[in-house]
Amino acid sequence: PFLFVSGREVVSDRALLRGLGITQVVNCAGLHVRNHFEAFGPAEAAEAAEAAAAAEEEEGEEGRGPAKVDHKGSGSSIKYLTLHMVDSAHVEDVTWFVYDVIGAVEAERLQGGATLVHCVQGVSRSCAFAAAYLMWASDQASAASGQQKAPLLGFQGPKLGYAEALARVKARRGVASPNVGFAAGLTQWAKLRA
Protein backbone atom coordinates (compact mmCIF):
# COMPACT_ATOMS: atom_id res chain seq x y z
CA PRO A 1 0.00 0.00 0.00
CA PHE A 2 1.11 3.54 -0.67
CA LEU A 3 -1.82 5.61 0.63
CA PHE A 4 -2.84 5.70 4.29
CA VAL A 5 -5.40 7.80 6.17
CA SER A 6 -5.47 8.65 9.87
CA GLY A 7 -6.14 11.21 12.53
CA ARG A 8 -3.46 12.98 14.54
CA GLU A 9 -2.86 10.06 16.91
CA VAL A 10 -0.52 8.32 14.46
CA VAL A 11 1.60 11.19 13.19
CA SER A 12 3.87 11.49 16.23
CA ASP A 13 4.85 7.80 16.27
CA ARG A 14 8.01 7.60 14.17
CA ALA A 15 8.40 3.85 14.65
CA LEU A 16 4.88 3.23 13.35
CA LEU A 17 5.40 5.54 10.37
CA ARG A 18 8.65 3.75 9.52
CA GLY A 19 7.03 0.36 9.98
CA LEU A 20 4.35 1.29 7.45
CA GLY A 21 6.97 2.69 5.06
CA ILE A 22 5.56 6.23 5.26
CA THR A 23 7.90 8.62 3.44
CA GLN A 24 5.53 11.57 3.10
CA VAL A 25 2.77 13.09 5.22
CA VAL A 26 -0.05 15.29 3.96
CA ASN A 27 -1.16 17.27 7.01
CA CYS A 28 -4.67 18.56 6.28
CA ALA A 29 -4.89 20.15 9.73
CA GLY A 30 -1.82 22.39 9.81
CA LEU A 31 -3.69 24.86 12.03
CA HIS A 32 -4.09 22.19 14.72
CA VAL A 33 -1.41 19.52 14.27
CA ARG A 34 2.30 20.14 13.91
CA ASN A 35 4.62 18.26 11.56
CA HIS A 36 6.54 16.13 14.03
CA PHE A 37 9.43 14.94 11.86
CA GLU A 38 9.91 17.73 9.38
CA ALA A 39 13.49 18.47 8.35
CA PHE A 40 15.39 21.05 10.36
CA GLY A 41 16.17 24.50 9.05
CA PRO A 42 19.84 25.40 8.33
CA ALA A 43 20.76 26.42 11.91
CA GLU A 44 19.27 23.30 13.49
CA ALA A 45 20.83 21.09 10.80
CA ALA A 46 24.28 22.50 11.62
CA GLU A 47 23.74 21.81 15.34
CA ALA A 48 22.56 18.27 14.57
CA ALA A 49 25.62 17.63 12.38
CA GLU A 50 27.95 18.84 15.16
CA ALA A 51 26.19 16.64 17.71
CA ALA A 52 26.41 13.64 15.38
CA ALA A 53 30.12 14.24 14.73
CA ALA A 54 30.80 14.52 18.47
CA ALA A 55 28.89 11.31 19.16
CA GLU A 56 30.77 9.49 16.39
CA GLU A 57 34.12 10.58 17.82
CA GLU A 58 33.12 9.52 21.33
CA GLU A 59 31.86 6.10 20.27
CA GLY A 60 34.72 5.60 17.82
CA GLU A 61 37.25 6.16 20.62
CA GLU A 62 35.60 3.46 22.72
CA GLY A 63 35.94 0.95 19.88
CA ARG A 64 32.23 0.42 19.33
CA GLY A 65 32.15 2.01 15.90
CA PRO A 66 30.47 5.24 14.88
CA ALA A 67 27.29 6.31 16.63
CA LYS A 68 24.07 6.53 14.68
CA VAL A 69 22.25 9.70 15.61
CA ASP A 70 18.77 10.01 14.17
CA HIS A 71 17.77 13.65 13.78
CA LYS A 72 14.76 14.80 11.89
CA GLY A 73 17.13 16.74 9.65
CA SER A 74 18.95 13.59 8.58
CA GLY A 75 18.33 11.72 5.35
CA SER A 76 15.48 9.87 7.03
CA SER A 77 13.25 12.91 7.45
CA ILE A 78 9.69 12.71 6.25
CA LYS A 79 8.43 15.03 3.52
CA TYR A 80 5.41 17.14 4.36
CA LEU A 81 2.65 18.89 2.49
CA THR A 82 0.82 21.06 5.00
CA LEU A 83 -2.66 22.41 4.35
CA HIS A 84 -4.07 24.99 6.72
CA MET A 85 -7.68 23.91 6.34
CA VAL A 86 -10.66 24.10 8.63
CA ASP A 87 -13.21 21.30 8.66
CA SER A 88 -16.14 23.47 7.71
CA ALA A 89 -18.73 22.96 5.02
CA HIS A 90 -19.12 26.71 4.61
CA VAL A 91 -15.52 27.93 4.78
CA GLU A 92 -13.30 25.58 2.75
CA ASP A 93 -13.58 24.39 -0.82
CA VAL A 94 -11.73 21.09 -0.85
CA THR A 95 -11.24 21.30 -4.60
CA TRP A 96 -8.79 24.18 -4.14
CA PHE A 97 -6.31 21.67 -2.73
CA VAL A 98 -7.17 18.49 -4.66
CA TYR A 99 -4.49 18.70 -7.33
CA ASP A 100 -1.76 19.60 -4.83
CA VAL A 101 -2.60 16.51 -2.77
CA ILE A 102 -3.00 14.21 -5.78
CA GLY A 103 0.30 15.44 -7.23
CA ALA A 104 2.12 14.83 -3.95
CA VAL A 105 0.64 11.35 -3.45
CA GLU A 106 1.28 10.29 -7.05
CA ALA A 107 4.85 11.63 -7.11
CA GLU A 108 5.62 9.71 -3.93
CA ARG A 109 4.00 6.53 -5.30
CA LEU A 110 6.08 6.74 -8.48
CA GLN A 111 9.23 7.00 -6.34
CA GLY A 112 8.23 3.88 -4.39
CA GLY A 113 7.18 5.79 -1.29
CA ALA A 114 4.02 5.84 0.77
CA THR A 115 1.92 8.80 1.88
CA LEU A 116 -0.10 9.26 5.04
CA VAL A 117 -2.93 11.78 4.68
CA HIS A 118 -4.18 12.95 8.06
CA CYS A 119 -6.37 15.52 9.72
CA VAL A 120 -7.40 15.85 13.36
CA GLN A 121 -9.71 12.84 13.61
CA GLY A 122 -9.16 11.10 10.29
CA VAL A 123 -12.82 11.45 9.39
CA SER A 124 -13.47 14.38 7.06
CA ARG A 125 -10.54 16.23 5.44
CA SER A 126 -8.16 13.29 5.06
CA CYS A 127 -10.89 10.93 3.83
CA ALA A 128 -12.09 13.51 1.31
CA PHE A 129 -8.60 13.65 -0.20
CA ALA A 130 -8.27 9.85 -0.22
CA ALA A 131 -11.56 9.66 -2.15
CA ALA A 132 -10.39 12.39 -4.54
CA TYR A 133 -7.17 10.46 -5.22
CA LEU A 134 -9.15 7.29 -5.98
CA MET A 135 -11.43 9.23 -8.32
CA TRP A 136 -8.42 10.67 -10.14
CA ALA A 137 -6.64 7.28 -10.28
CA SER A 138 -9.72 5.66 -11.82
CA ASP A 139 -9.68 8.40 -14.48
CA GLN A 140 -6.07 7.59 -15.27
CA ALA A 141 -6.77 3.86 -15.44
CA SER A 142 -9.75 4.44 -17.71
CA ALA A 143 -7.67 6.60 -20.05
CA ALA A 144 -4.86 4.03 -20.08
CA SER A 145 -7.12 1.03 -20.73
CA GLY A 146 -7.17 1.69 -24.47
CA GLN A 147 -3.38 1.97 -24.55
CA GLN A 148 -2.63 -1.60 -23.45
CA LYS A 149 -1.19 -0.49 -20.14
CA ALA A 150 -1.80 -2.33 -16.90
CA PRO A 151 -4.67 -0.73 -14.97
CA LEU A 152 -3.49 1.68 -12.30
CA LEU A 153 -4.18 0.32 -8.81
CA GLY A 154 -6.16 -2.55 -10.24
CA PHE A 155 -8.93 -0.25 -11.51
CA GLN A 156 -10.95 -1.71 -14.32
CA GLY A 157 -14.23 -0.53 -15.72
CA PRO A 158 -15.89 2.85 -15.41
CA LYS A 159 -14.49 5.87 -13.64
CA LEU A 160 -15.30 6.19 -9.96
CA GLY A 161 -17.66 8.93 -8.88
CA TYR A 162 -17.57 10.43 -5.41
CA ALA A 163 -19.93 7.87 -3.82
CA GLU A 164 -17.99 4.90 -5.20
CA ALA A 165 -14.63 6.35 -4.17
CA LEU A 166 -15.88 7.15 -0.68
CA ALA A 167 -17.24 3.59 -0.37
CA ARG A 168 -13.71 2.28 -1.09
CA VAL A 169 -12.25 4.61 1.56
CA LYS A 170 -14.93 3.53 4.06
CA ALA A 171 -14.09 -0.12 3.39
CA ARG A 172 -10.64 0.60 4.86
CA ARG A 173 -11.55 3.37 7.32
CA GLY A 174 -15.07 2.86 8.62
CA VAL A 175 -15.31 6.30 10.24
CA ALA A 176 -14.78 8.11 6.91
CA SER A 177 -17.35 10.87 6.62
CA PRO A 178 -16.31 14.05 4.80
CA ASN A 179 -18.43 17.05 5.73
CA VAL A 180 -21.27 18.02 3.41
CA GLY A 181 -19.29 20.87 1.85
CA PHE A 182 -16.37 18.58 0.94
CA ALA A 183 -18.80 15.96 -0.39
CA ALA A 184 -20.57 18.57 -2.55
CA GLY A 185 -17.25 19.92 -3.81
CA LEU A 186 -15.99 16.48 -4.82
CA THR A 187 -19.32 15.58 -6.41
CA GLN A 188 -19.10 18.75 -8.51
CA TRP A 189 -15.44 17.98 -9.30
CA ALA A 190 -16.51 14.53 -10.55
CA LYS A 191 -19.01 16.13 -12.92
CA LEU A 192 -16.36 18.49 -14.27
CA ARG A 193 -14.03 15.56 -14.97
CA ALA A 194 -16.67 13.49 -16.78
pLDDT digits (tens, 9 = 90+) for 159-175: 899 999 999 999 999 99
- For the chain, first and last CA: distance in Å? 27
pTM: 0.77
Q: CA-CA distance, 20 to 32, in Å (whole number)?
A: 24
Helix (H) / strand (E) element for 122: namely none
Q: CA-CA distance, 27 to 83, in Å (whole number)?
A: 6
Predicted pLDDT of residue 95: 93
Predicted pLDDT of residue 54: 53
* 36-59 average pLDDT score: 55
Burial degree of 111 (CB within 10 A; 0-12, 13-18, 19+): exposed
Q: What is the pLDDT of residues 89-138, one digit of tens each?
A: 777 889 999 999 999 999 999 999 999 999 999 999 999 999 999 999 98
| Average pLDDT of every residue of the chain | 81
Pairing of strands 3-6, 22-27: unpaired
